[in-house]
Chain A
Amino acid sequence: MDSVTLIGLGSVLAAGLTIAIGAIGPAIGEGRAVAQGLASISQQPDMSNRITRTLFVGLAMIESTAIYAFVVSMILLFANPFWEYAISHAGG
């Protein structure tokens, strides 16, 4: 296997694994956060505005990690510097 094939193989595998594993943690975390938020709203309905706002801010922070994983995966697939270097230097 020459280096171009290896780079392509490694990039695709890494991109798939990155987003597959990277989305598990945030999904579990967000589920627990929303569950806790719903329990709090049901306990104190008059605070529901504040709870909802805090919940959304917290969800955005949790989601960031999933977004990092997605951005890395996208970079590996679409803006991969190693691939571009290998392609531009691939001899006959």
Chain B
Amino acid sequence: MDLMSMQQITPDQVIFWQWGFFRLNATIVFTWAVMATLAAGSWLVTRRLTSGTRALSRRQNLLETLVGAMIDEIEGISPREARTYLPLVGSLFLFIAVCNLLTVVPGYAAPTASLSTTASLALCVFAAVPLYGIRSRGIRGYLGQYLQPTVLMLPFNVMGELSRTLALAIRLFGNVMSGMKIAAILLAIAPFVFPVVMHALGLLTGMIQAYIFAVLAMVYIASASRARQESKQRA
């Protein structure tokens, strides 16, 4: 919170170090910090993995609970191939969730409060949809989807695909940035109790937005790669 002044809305504008064209801004620093935290935490837990139920350490139990819950959620959307989508969707959820959770640390600005981060995550989903779709339906089957239900719908389908990617990016950016801004503005106006309440609300919305991002990514991928019978069943 003290990292950014009132005039700045994204961590992109906080520059730690500059050398020629290369700028090290707060977004990059905190993205790498979150990545290092996730990688170091996972490595610490998976050093001594046990498969029995006796010597299960608490941290391994926590990670297994998380992964199990994510697999359940993914199975709720695409019942057959939850494991193939788990790496992408699970990574999206974990990264965004940890980014938003670490806002309790003072001096930290969530990298998801920058449009660069959220746009790149949305572009990952945008690239993943044709990849998974072509892999499960073939190129003709995937491209034929754009002509459903009639060829006249082609521009609308393409526009819909672009706009939902944009919506993914802006939804996450708007939620996290607005939580940060409101807490900062309240800190300037009524600094005793209300900033804490807004900060807690920001944590809640951060978690919800991480879940929404992952679920929407899963829904888009599943809708592009579902087999014909299933799609006719649901329609």
Residues of A within 8 A of B (CB): 49-50, 53, 56-57, 60-61, 63-64, 67-68, 70-71, 74-75, 78-79
Contacts and interface: CB of A to CB of B under 8 A. Distances in A.
8 contacts: A53-B215, A56-B215, A57-B216, A60-B171, A63-B171, A78-B7, A78-B8, A79-B9
Contact of B9 (A49, A50, A56, A78): A78
B76 A50 contact: yes
B76 A64 contact: no
A43 to B, nearest CB: 20
Contacts of B177: 71, 74
Interface residues of B, number: 21
A88 to B, nearest CB: 15
Interface of B: 7-9, 73, 76, 167, 170-171, 173-175, 177-178, 181, 208-209, 211-212, 215-216, 219
Give the secondary structure class of B's interface: helix
A71 B8 CA distance: 13
Given A67-B178, A74-B177, A78-B8, A56 B212 contact: yes
Nearest to A68: B170
Given A56-B211, A67-B178, 9 more contacts: A49-B76, A57-B215, A60-B212, A64-B171, A67-B175, A71-B173, A74-B178, A78-B8, A79-B9
A53 B70 CA distance: 13
Interface centre among B73, B174, B175, B216 (most CB of A within 10 A): B174
B212 A68 contact: no
Contacts of A71: 170, 173-174, 177-178
B215 A67 contact: no
A53 B8 contact: no
Nearest to B9: A78
Contacts of A49: 76
Contact of A74 (B73, B167, B181, B219): B181
